[in-house]
Structure 1
Amino acid sequence: MNLLQVDEAVRHFPLKGRAGAVHAVDGVSLTVRRGETLGLVGETGCGKSTLARLICRLDDLTGGRIVFDGRDITRLSRRELAPIRRDVQMIFQDPYGSLNPRRRVGSIIGDPFAIHRIADGRDRRRRVKELMELVGLNPEHYNRFPAEFSGGQRQRIGVARALALRPKLLVCDEPVSALDVSIQAQVINLLDELQDLLGLTYVFISHDLSVVRHVSDRVAVMYLGRIVEVAPAPELYARPRHPYTAALLSAAPVADPDLADRRQRILLSGDVPSPVDPPKGCRFHPRCPKAQDRCALEEPHLVSRDADPESHATACHFPVDSTSELVAA
């Protein structure tokens, strides 16, 4: 059963002082099943974080709709969104910038209880300490300031705050990208444990393909405001069908040095086009090794191809069968 459904979501940001707009998210459709982790990957600037804010209704849609737990939340007012906020929470990318340095940790984690008027006084303090213990923090550090914690501990504070109201959906916007590799593993393992313990559903956003592979049940690949491929994680990593996905995977680091030496790197030509004036047809065609005339004229739809399972959808007129054909091109 789907917990979240995004239908043709659009978010354009008008340019100041001149005509036009930034097409940050431009017709994204996806579903997130209850209890799963959907990974969302793509280059910096592809619209991942904007989509995250739309899902959490921290930003308004230009077009499309978002349905959460069977309810259309697209046009709800701030007051109508209040109960939805309890069920949809976000873990932000920067554990340094997302915490107020002038407030004590206990107060930061306790904010959701205060805002939603759920607990106060001793009850709030007790709940905050339980949350701190749940995410691996010492409850005795309740009165410390964020600056007294390491980066990994600060991200745990952010996780505790997001879990305060026992949400159904957590949107994790690059939650480990600002952390050292060893600390990344600790935070990822924590999220894994919490998902099993609390029955959480995740949208996990990252540009790190190895991290996404580890945590995700399904993966959606985003390019210039649109989803170009979505599939179960093992299927996508074993058999990428979109040329952009294949290029991303060819550049991802691998732990096995022998495999790294044998792997063929796919080099894309040119730069990512401007989201102010995205290309007609397939948005990837100016950089695609397989592009043909049709690609510049006709936008491909995100559908399952003949040779693929129904769960594997690709927005490409000429999907790849193997990465060798892209290297040769």
Structure 2
Amino acid sequence: MSDDTRANESGEALIEVRAAVKHFPIKQGVIVKREVGRVHAVEGVSLAVRRGETLGLVGETGCGKSTLARCVTRLHQLTSGQILFEGQDITGLSRSQVRPYRRRMQMIFQDPYGSLNPRRRVGSIIGDPFAIHGEGERDERKPKVQELMELVGLNPEHYNRFPAEFSGGQRQRIGVARALALKPSLIVADEPVSALDVSIQAQIINLLDDLQQEFGLTYLFISHDLSVVRHVSDRIAVMYLGQVVELADSEELHGRPRHPYTNALLSAASVADPDQAAARQRIVLTGDVPSPVAPPSGCRFHPRCPKAQQICVEQVPALKARSGDPDTHLTACHFPVEPGEDLTRVTATIPEEERAE
């Protein structure tokens, strides 16, 4: 991404990611462990989340969404690149130095069952942020915790219950209350509704929307469900195998997707109108997602792309605005999809043996 593009995106950025790279070493050996490879989880991601907006991050399982989220909140240390919070570089800060920033950015985790300690009472779980950051005495925390429980739609009288006594949706509300305790500016929601029933999903999404309006929160909302992301997001970034391949305003991306991968995701997304669902042409991608241990050369999507040509094997496409697109619509593709183009009738020109490399 160019410096000009980054400046336009992050004029009022709360959190900014610059050329983020995260690799996980693969080691073998019993006594002496040696590195035999690396998982390329995040590779050169640059994006900004503006103050007060919701940026949706979407992609298949294993594309690096959750890893990027943990890098943003400094739960993972970047291999290279920068994380800026309110203009301050927090990338290389020590645990003690980053602690003040943790008050300002919190996470809501995907699994409402696994993210809560079953042996502790709900009041203690929600009150942990107060205890960790030295906010008031123990007796002073109880009314604050009960206020948070009421805020997220839980009965304050259930303060002394254990997580097992709550439903999945109620447990996720506990996670939301814990994240709100220190009045953060940024909340990273890592697939917060994927483990819930559809009716409960709507309740949690509406709750997050109400809280954003009331407290001016900024969300990085992660999901693999484009219909959910469209409902909650101002802008959407689409990730594939560790890289952002398309970034645009929510309605712009749904109305005029430019990357072949985004088109494939949209063709598989659920829609409420049965007539639209029946008329939709499903784009079926060939092959499996390549291994992040040995990602393809050039464009990482080229082994599965119906429009792939030789240049896609050789050159990494830049994430930039393409001809005819607004400056806010960025696509990383040598041959972006044109309006009305039918990808089911397009054939790649790369020999099968080269596509598999």
Do they superpose with TM above 0.5?
yes
Instruction: Name the aligned partner's letter for residue 30 of structure 1.
Output: L
Q: Which residue of 2 aligns with 1:249?
A: 266
Distance 2:312 2:224 in 1: 26
Asked if 1:10 is matched to 2:27, the reply is no
Once the two structures are TM-superposed, the CA of residue 323 in structure 1 deviates from its matched residue by 5.7
RMSD after superposition: 0.7
Asked if 1:217 is matched to 2:234, the reply is yes
Once the two structures are superposed, residues 51-75 of structure 1 have per-residue CA deviations (whole angstroms, 9 ceiling, x without a partner) of 0000000010000000001110000
Secondary structure of the equivalent of 1:14?
strand
Secondary structure of the equivalent of 2:49?
strand
Could you list the runs of 5+ residues in structure 2 that have no partner in the other structure?
Answer: 1-11, 29-34, 347-357
Instruction: Name the aligned partner's letter for residue 255 of structure 2.
Output: A
Secondary structure of the equivalent of 1:66?
strand
Distance 1:228 1:326 in 2: 17
**1:1-329 alignment to 2 at 5 Å?**
1-17=12-28, 18-322=35-339, 324-329=341-346
Once the two structures are superposed, residues 151-186 of structure 1 have per-residue CA deviations (whole angstroms, 9 ceiling, x without a partner) of 000000000000000000000000000000000000
Distance 1:210 1:120 in 2: 44
Once the two structures are TM-superposed, the CA of residue 253 in structure 1 deviates from its matched residue by 1.1
Once the two structures are TM-superposed, the CA of residue 20 in structure 1 deviates from its matched residue by 1.4
Q: Please give the TM-score of this superposition, normalised by the length of structure 1.
A: 0.99
Distance 1:203 1:302 in 2: 20
Once the two structures are superposed, residues 119-165 of structure 1 have per-residue CA deviations (whole angstroms, 9 ceiling, x without a partner) of 22221001000000000000000000000000000000000000000
More displaced 10-residue stretch of structure 1: 228-237 or 252-261: 252-261
Q: Please give the TM-score of this superposition, normalised by the length of structure 2.
A: 0.91
Report how many aligned residue pairs link the two structures: 329
Once the two structures are superposed, residues 5-53 of structure 1 have per-residue CA deviations (whole angstroms, 9 ceiling, x without a partner) of 1000000001121521000001100000000000000000000000000
Could you list the runs of 5+ residues in structure 1 that have no partner in the other structure?
Answer: none
Identity of aligned residues (%): 72
Distance 2:244 2:37 in 1: 22
Instruction: Name the aligned partner's letter for residue 5 of structure 1.
Output: E
Secondary structure of the equivalent of 2:320?
coil
Secondary structure of the equivalent of 2:247?
strand
